[in-house]
Amino acid sequence: MSDFPSTGARAQSDAAPAQTSAPTTGTGQAGDVVRAVVREVPDKVSTDGLEQKFDERWSAEGTFAFDRTATREQVYSIDTPPPTVSGSLHVGHVFSYTHTDVIARFQRMRGKEVFYPMGWDDNGLPTERRVQNYYGVRCDPSLPYVEGFEPPHAGTEGKAVKPADQVPISRRNFIELCERLTADDERQFEELWRRLGLSVDWSQTYQTIDATSRAASQRAFLRNLERGEAYQAEAPGLWDVTFQTAVAQAELEAREYPGHYHRVAFHRTGAAGTTTEPVYIETTRPELLPAVVALIAHPDDERYQHLFGTTVTSPLFGVEIPVLAHPAAAMDKGAGIAMCCTFGDLTDVQWWRELQLPTRSVVGRDGRLHRETPEWIADGPGAGLYAEGLAGKTTFSARKAVVEALVDSGDLDGEPKPTQRMTNFYEKGDKPLEIVTSRQWYIRNGGREWSTGGTTRDLKSELLARGKELDFHPDFMRVRYENWVGGLNGDWLVSRQRFFGVAVPVWYPVLDSGEIDHDHPITPSAAELPVDPTSQAPAGYDESQRGEPGGFVGDADVMDTWATSSLTPLIVAGWERDTDLFERVYPMDLRPQGQDIIRTWLFSTVVRSHLECGVLPWKNAAISGWILDPDRKKMSKSKGNVVTPMDLLVEHGSDAVRYWAAAARLGTDAAFEVGQMKIGRRLAIKVLNASKFALTFGVDPETGAGEITLDPAAVTVQLDRAMLAGLADVVDQATAALEAYDHTRALELTESYFWAFCDDYLELVKDRAYGAGASADALSAETVSARTALALALDVMLRLLAPYIPFATEEVWSWWRTGSVHRAPWPTAEPLRSAAVGADPLDLTAAGNALAALRKVKSAAKVSMRTPILSGTVAVPVALLPGVESAIGDVRGAGRVEGPLELVEATEGQGDPDVQGGIVVTASELGEPPAKKPRG
């Protein structure tokens, strides 16, 4: 069959009724020849209303429905990012999701059945915060459920309701409000995605909190637990005191935070009770003096060699602590010796673990110092200070009290020195994180050594090897993955002390003594999932036994949102619920995502697939850059500099906005540019107008219909063949670029050729294509050649542009073809080369440059382009001379040359090679400009 499609209908399935057209055999070298019937070409073209028109048509005809009968080899599957449903989308979403859609449309036209689902990430803290503000409520798990509860607000116009004014409600009531609000948000999101033209199969959708996702997430966790990949531990962890939840390493954000260095004296005891010189340390957190467990210096620091192995006592509290050596101590920072507290920062945790130091925590989950005086200082000199001045205070207030006490005792040397220190924050939080000791659940990710079956498993190396198997686009993003994995220093903390999320699916026995037995968790069967241990009793128990001796308690925590999002390819592929689908789409072909979540979403997904399936979850990762505002700052909701996309889509049109997005390469940041959208709109309108021009030839002016034969053998004129030869090169290069996930390069090539086609070729062949008014039966071979070449080129360029501007190209396709351009086969170069029969694309360039030189003469004379040229001499560089000579008839016609036109070989330096390729008109005589037509 010819590559020029006889039908745009999709491969047939129950979702897509058959659409047929009958190709008739012609004389083309490539096989069957297509006869296309032009049904309607509008008098006036417009992009307005195309989005709704074709969204409705695509939905009705199942254009993008996934064919479940396709084999794995025939499928291209995409692990589409589920956007966070916690408010409005911003233009950054449009940017990255357009990149994915271009690839989806390209693969579909390449003959693949594209599995392109859409999910909604409505699980976790962003949704909780939005519900609190939107409805004016807060969750209090101690409260009973209220049937038919109605919140005090139903939208607060973006204004946050103060916590004191939020109505406390039960956890179940709170979750119901989360589900209500996300359902509303999802409808708005889908409307925007449809307006943008995402070729998603809308029958393949999911939520990260729906029953299917919760069951999959809990099942995967229980599998991890069974294999020893999940474990719980009482250990120090990062804690956000505002949101009252643990925070994982991947969710940290280092920010500068103002503070002061305090030079504080620790005391040494000499022989027979004599005193010696104090040891000074510098700290920004003097409030942690009651939690100090050691002083630590670098083992090579000569200043402290004599102290290693000795002890000192802490100021104010008099606790005896050792002086130890550790290579992580910084000799050039502060005094070179630091106090290790449990816990001030992650270095303290490292020292505590590696030096096996005692735990003396004083900061609780509420961000305040413990209200009971710790036992290690209860009998010391600082007991009174702690009980009266520190107990129950915030770290800020406690710091002030400790500094005042150090001044009074003489243990503060000099004045505190202001400094800006880098401190860990939760990425969504506003206060520095504390490190508190609590029982949490972890999944192994290579951050800590892991022994199983008597041998040590090097999971970190395994995950680094997986990263080398994955094709990153662009490849330089690979180093971000490798740096993250290589720098891990702890396993993945997956439990969260929140409310709206996937529950940790375990209960714990309550011993007869009333103690909770965390070492022997009770787990549900796979058939019971999903479960909520806070409202369901485990098998063999009833609700009356909750919290009672001999009974049970449910784990109150939920899992980190990434613990569910890391399973998106398994969830959408039907893991353990739809084996047939799973075998057809998994492992998937593509994971598109942002660069900032390589460390979270990409890495965690690799971890889960590696542990569960022993394979990569996908073959390719396409990494988008960021959208920058006019000040070159990253756009984000938190910075308040985002642009809402729906207004842009309405104002400029979806094709225009998609063009702007697609003009940015993967992995590179792009500025938000309305000007670029205007260029995209101009392109879409030009496609409509140029197509109207090309399709109007041969159409009956009475009926507005006609037939176009796409017969390559009918292209007989050298200029027409040269145009098709150039287009063949574009097809090859654009295809190679898209196969390499360089959608921007493919667009650049196609768009550049399209504009040259409009500016040069259309103008050159216009007169010849009109055929001087000859009837259809009396057309010259030259006219037939022009019309056929126009149709062949239009057919190919519509398909090349379809992934980028899907609405304008579909509109043109509907004028003269059946089915959808998005189900038409992607063009190949071979039929074009067959039609070009060895022509040189440079010939079209030469002819176009010659026409531009003639028009430049008229522009210089400030006369109309329709002004005739009575005679002229054109100097042409020798390389371009054959091309101009072969197209001299079209050059004369387009340039309105009525008399002799002499072509001469240009001498060296005669023309500017950057202007019209060095072609220059050396002599000319202009006729009278045509009379202007009167208005009205």
Smallest Cα–Cα separation from 825: which of 788, 865, 789, 798? 798
Smallest Cα–Cα separation from 505: which of 476, 472, 527, 477? 527
Instruction: Record the pTM.
Output: 0.84
- Asked whether 616 and 470 are in contact (CB, 8 A), the reply is yes
User: Looking at residue 29, what is its pLDDT?
Assistant: 36
Distance CA 806, CA 804 (A): 6
Q: Is 163 buried (19+), middle (13-18) or exposed (0-12) by CB count in 10 A?
A: exposed
DSSP β-ladder status, 706-710 and 34-38: antiparallel
Smallest Cα–Cα separation from 880: which of 854, 853, 920, 846? 846
Q: pLDDT tens across 399-437, in order?
A: 999 999 999 999 999 999 999 888 888 877 888 999 988
Q: Which residue numbers in the chain have pLDDT < 70?
A: 1-32, 86-88, 157-158, 270-275, 630-643, 698, 701-704, 772-777, 934-936
Distance CA 330, CA 834 (A): 72
Distance CA 441, CA 674 (A): 47
CA distance to 101, 169, 503, 514, 541, per residue, from 553 (Å): 47, 22, 14, 11, 11
Query: Element (H or E) spanning 884, and its range?
Result: helix 881-886
> How many Cα atoms sit within 13 Å of 122 on the Cβ side?
29
Distance CA 223, CA 209 (A): 19
Distance CA 62, CA 67 (A): 10
Q: Residue 871: phi, psi to the nearest 5?
A: -165, 160
Residue matched to tokens 């287009």: 727
Torsion of CA 434, 436, 440, 444, to 10 degrees: 70
Query: Element (H or E) spanning 836, and its range?
Result: helix 830-836
Angle at 727 between CA 40 and CA 732, to 5 degrees: 120
User: Looking at residue 931, what is its pLDDT?
Assistant: 81
- Asked whether 122 and 209 are in contact (CB, 8 A), the reply is yes
Cβ neighbors of 347 (< 8 A, separation 6 or more) are 328
The runs of H, that is alpha helices, within 559-640 are 561-565, 568-572, 579-585, 603-612
Distance CA 51, CA 813 (A): 15
Rg of the chain on CA atoms, in Å? 36
Distance CA 631, CA 654 (A): 25
Smallest Cα–Cα separation from 489: which of 359, 345, 364, 616? 345
Q: Residue 923: phi, psi to the nearest 5?
A: -155, 145
Quick one: tokens of 391?
Answer: 């107990």
DSSP state of 602: I
User: Looking at residue 3, what is its pLDDT?
Assistant: 60
Q: Is 73 buried (19+), middle (13-18) or exposed (0-12) by CB count in 10 A?
A: exposed
Smallest Cα–Cα separation from 151: which of 171, 130, 168? 168
Residue 143 one-letter amino acid: L
User: Looking at residue 18, what is its pLDDT?
Assistant: 32
User: Looking at residue 185, what is its pLDDT?
Assistant: 81
Smallest Cα–Cα separation from 629: which of 92, 158, 86? 92
